[in-house]
Structure 1
Amino acid sequence: MTDPQIAILMLGLFIVVIMLGFPIAFTLMAMGIGFGYYAYFDADRMRHLFDNRIFDLFVNQTYSVMANDVLTAIPLFLFMGYIVERANIVDRLFETLSIATRRMPGSMAVAALITCALFATATGIVGAVVTLMGLLALPAMLKARYDERFASGVICAGGTLGILIPPSIMLIVYAAASGVSIVRLYAGALLPGFLLAGMYLVYIIGRAMLQPSLAPRPEEPEEPIPTGKLAWMLLTSFFPLAILILSVLGAILFGLATPSEAASIGALGGLVLAIAYRALTWKRLQESVYLTVRTTAMVCWLFVGSWTFSSVFSYLGGEHIVRDFVMGLDMTPLQFLILAQIIIFLLGWPLEWSEIIIIFVPIFLPLLPLFDIDPLFFGILIALNLQTSFLTPPMAMSAYYLKGIAPPHVRLTQIFAGSLPYVFMVFVTMVMLYVFPQIAYYLPQLFYGR
């Protein structure tokens, strides 16, 4: 077999192995070192078993990942999210927003979506947001006689917004994989994120107006809540978390701090909020640190394995085969974008977003200049597309997260049915982004020039 054929065998074998359920990071490292030993083997210079350049490559890749300034922000943002999750902020926030939006159609669903979006933005952890909001908001909506499909869809869709709206951990990972400026990426993702969240809100309010039985209006309280008390509730629940997120994001976008510096301030702010809400205990702090270390280690070792694997794959000539194959299809830029997004959409069923971004997206990146596609624009399309991986049956992880804590009478098929309209809205947003690319480019050009 020729080296390019070995490279294709390497890629195919990797896909088979991960489908069998082996740990992806260690599979990448093992296959990278194994095939790399063959690729870099030189019998004339070999003095002992470990005298092979693949081991030098593996050590260098490990050091490069651990010393990457962009990736430093990941544990800090994760710590901020885990601390906020355990600070009992979300229950106050949902209660306050439910009261503030009482006169709107679908008021509890609107409150749930805004709470999900704000909490997801602060944490960036889909499973945590969907689970916590499922425990908090779903029983309240069902008690208010909301339709099971309608209530479930709101929580599943809202919980995924954190991987798109900055400060998103997914965008940090994409920036590290692609070399795109994380600051420009954050600026570019802001308007598409708000556009998608706005479409969700319009859908919720519109459905509640057209079909009031899906979201009955709440009964008026016997004693109306005074405006002053409502303002105090917003001041102590909504604004602290919103100000924390806006401060972190503003410091990054306006160049006042690097993402790592802003993330450190965010982590400190999360601790301050937990202390202010009297929710910081030694046990909760231990849990937050442990979960932060575990998730960060997963992402970093995925990077080490992916970069080792892709280096060997490219050295064997696999990258040229992929490039020649794609060029042989004689596609237009639009056709290439559609093909790439379909592949990523399908990969989202069996794989997590981190694995897609770190392992498979780098295969597409060298092809972007051939079709004159901006990596920033491509990354925002991927961030939108990955929303669907959490919402599309049969492997909609948001639905499974919610089913795990939902009341027994809420069926998985109902959760799937409630999530599907939001998948359609994601596709509409992707089409709008392609037709009107200034949605992504306006803020980066405004802040940082062309």
Structure 2
Amino acid sequence: MTNPEVAILMLCLFILLVLLGFPIAFTLLAMGVGFGYYAYYQGGIETFSDIFNNNIFYLLNQNTYSVMENDTLVAIPLFLFMGYVVERANIVDRLFYSLYMAARNLPGSLAIAALLTCAVFSTASGIVGAVVTLMGLLAYPAMAKANYDKSFASGVICAGGTLGILIPPSIMLIVYAAIAELSPLRLYAAAVFPGLLLAGLYIVYVMIRVWINPAIAPKPNLDDIPPRRKIYLDLLISFVPLTVLIMLVLGSILGGLATPAEAAAMGALGGLVLAFLYRSLTWLKVKESVFLTAKATAMVCWLFVGSWTFASVFSYLGGHDLISDWVVGMNLEPWQFLVMAQLIIFFLGWPLEWSEILIIFVPIFLPMLEVFGVNPYFFAMLVALNLQTSFLTPPMAMSAYYLKGVLKKQIELMEIFRGIIPYLGIVILCMVLMYQFPGIALWFPDYLFGVYVP
């Protein structure tokens, strides 16, 4: 076998092992070291110590050091800490209730309140599992009590919970910036309107669906509605502080007043202040937030080390060049290249999560963007939208499993799958709209920072 053929074997074997259930981060690490030992093998093993005389171990060490010293990635643990503190501050339950009261006259008011709560909370958290789990405990029982259709209610929670990886300040965009060597500020600016568009399309779909079939979301009982002044006061107390915190964090980044890491530190401090103001700041909750942040950050770091080692060996063996030459040799039009790339990413979303797709497979397409004349920030937004589907595509739709994990026997997995299918179509519609109107993604960053010049 030639080296490029070994690289393709390496890739196929990795996907097979992931489907078999092996831990992804350590599978990447083992595959990278194993195939890297072959790639960098120089022969001449005479003593036991000569076994470790291979450049793959130097590469592993360098990749680990690169992850640890990457300034862009410093924002990840800080944003995670902010999300965990907010999650434990009892803000979300107040937010959901007040939004429900404010939207009570709209079709599917509970579903709309759940989507808005997911959008706001997932923006502050950025952790899909945490958002879906908490909303499954909070919003689903309320919708079940109101006799909402099970599939409809679960689809709302699963789709809304994934918005945090797109709407800034998004951890996924920080990772993308580090991989593609793009400006995180421009990526954040480019993601604002696509994120709002997708959330808006979700809400429009809910309203139209309930208008066509009111039986799936019966109107609420209006007998125990509090006075309007109290509704506005609850909305002011629950919605405004968290939204102001998010706007301050995002505004300081887009305004050039702070780097993402500095803004994340300010957000973490703001989360503690909010928890104190809501009288939810206890030593136990802070300790839990710190432990969860350390655990999630360690997982991300191991994932980065394994992915970069895997990708480095894959490229060294000629895998990237083989695929790039094959795609370029097809003489595709730019739109054909974009469709093909997004289809590949879409299908990869079945067995893999967004982090593996981003770190391993997206770098294969990045060198081709210049060949096909594609704006890298526009491509990044298409990928960011497409990665929503990695949480919503059966049979490996992680958001469905998160929800099933907390609801247990209250709902069947197939009912959740039926509920999330329409949102896959909405994501694809959003991608089509952005392709037809690139200004959705490119106008805002060009307005803030000037027209992008490669």
Instruction: Return the alpha-carbon distance in structure 2 between the equivalents of residues 190 and 273 of structure 1.
Output: 24
String of CA shifts for 1:304-336, please: whole Å, max 9, x gaps. 122222222222222221112212323222222
> 1:282: how far off?
2.2
Answer with 21-30 or 63-72: which moved more: 21-30
Instruction: Return the alpha-carbon distance in structure 2 between the equivalents of residues 352 and 215 of structure 1.
Output: 32
Q: Which runs of 5+ in 2 are unaligned?
A: none
> 1:81: how far off?
0.6
SS at match of 1:303: helix
SS at match of 2:314: helix
Structure 1 pair 20/211, CA: closer, same or farther in 2 (3 Å)?
Answer: closer
Corresponding position: 1:236 with 2:237 = yes
Matched with 2:293 is: 292
Matched with 1:62 is: 64
Instruction: Return the alpha-carbon distance in structure 2 between the equivalents of residues 31 and 214 of structure 1.
Output: 48
Where does 1:398-437 land on structure 2 (aligned, <5 Å)? 398-406=399-407, 408-437=409-438
CA contact (8 A) 2:99 2:113 kept: yes
Where does 1:118-137 land on structure 2 (aligned, <5 Å)? 118-137=120-139
Given residue 373 of structure 2, which amino acid in structure 1 is its aligned partner? D
Instruction: Return the alpha-carbon distance in structure 2 between the equivalents of residues 175 and 59 of structure 1.
Output: 22
Answer with 46-55 or 188-197: which moved more: 46-55
Structure 1 pair 376/390, CA: closer, same or farther in 2 (3 Å)?
Answer: same
Where does 1:104-123 land on structure 2 (aligned, <5 Å)? 104-123=106-125
Instruction: Return the alpha-carbon distance in structure 2 between the equivalents of residues 8 and 60 of structure 1.
Output: 24
Instruction: Return the alpha-carbon distance in structure 1 between the equivalents of residues 279 and 431 of structure 2.
Output: 42
Calculate the TM-score normalised by the size of structure 2: 0.94
Where does 1:217-296 land on structure 2 (aligned, <5 Å)? 217-221=219-223, 225-296=226-297
> 1:142: how far off?
1.6
Matched with 1:85 is: 87
Instruction: Return the alpha-carbon distance in structure 2 between the equivalents of residues 366 and 65 of structure 1.
Output: 22
> 1:20: how far off?
2.7
> 1:407: how far off?
6.8
Instruction: Return the alpha-carbon distance in structure 2 between the equivalents of residues 385 and 423 of structure 1.
Output: 9
> 1:274: how far off?
1.3
> 1:239: how far off?
0.7
Answer with 248-257 or 290-299: which moved more: 290-299
Given residue 165 of structure 2, which amino acid in structure 1 is its aligned partner? I
Structure 1 pair 231/311, CA: closer, same or farther in 2 (3 Å)?
Answer: same
String of CA shifts for 1:334-354, please: whole Å, max 9, x gaps. 222112111111111221111
Matched with 2:9 is: 9
Matched with 1:164 is: 166
Instruction: Return the alpha-carbon distance in structure 2 between the equivalents of residues 315 and 220 of structure 1.
Output: 66
Matched with 2:367 is: 366
Instruction: Return the alpha-carbon distance in structure 2 between the equivalents of residues 8 and 146 of structure 1.
Output: 48
Answer with 322-331 or 1-10: which moved more: 1-10
Q: Give me the CA root mean square deviation.
A: 1.9
CA contact (8 A) 2:45 2:51 kept: no
Matched with 2:156 is: 154
CA contact (8 A) 2:349 2:387 kept: yes
Instruction: Return the alpha-carbon distance in structure 2 between the equivalents of residues 145 and 207 of structure 1.
Output: 16
Answer with 265-274 or 53-62: which moved more: 53-62
String of CA shifts for 1:365-410, please: whole Å, max 9, x gaps. 2222222222211121111112122222222222222222237353
Matched with 2:97 is: 95
Matched with 2:42 is: 42
Matched with 1:20 is: 20
Structure 1 pair 427/286, CA: closer, same or farther in 2 (3 Å)?
Answer: same
Calculate the TM-score normalised by the size of structure 1: 0.95
Instruction: Return the alpha-carbon distance in structure 1 between the equivalents of residues 133 and 392 of structure 2.
Output: 14
> 1:51: how far off?
2.9
> Which portions of structure 1, spanning 4 or more consecutive aligned residues, are displaced by more than 4 angstroms?
43-47
Provide the identity percentage: 64
Corresponding position: 1:204 with 2:206 = yes
Matched with 1:318 is: 319
Matched with 2:439 is: 438
> 1:214: how far off?
2.0
String of CA shifts for 1:144-168, please: whole Å, max 9, x gaps. 1222222222111111111111111
String of CA shifts for 1:96-140, please: whole Å, max 9, x gaps. 111111122221111111011111111111111111111111111
> 1:45: how far off?
11
Corresponding position: 1:307 with 2:323 = no
Structure 1 pair 20/393, CA: closer, same or farther in 2 (3 Å)?
Answer: closer
Answer with 164-173 or 212-221: which moved more: 212-221
Structure 1 pair 307/409, CA: closer, same or farther in 2 (3 Å)?
Answer: closer
Given residue 50 of structure 1, which amino acid in structure 2 is its aligned partner? F
String of CA shifts for 1:233-253, please: whole Å, max 9, x gaps. 122111111111111111111
> 1:232: how far off?
2.0
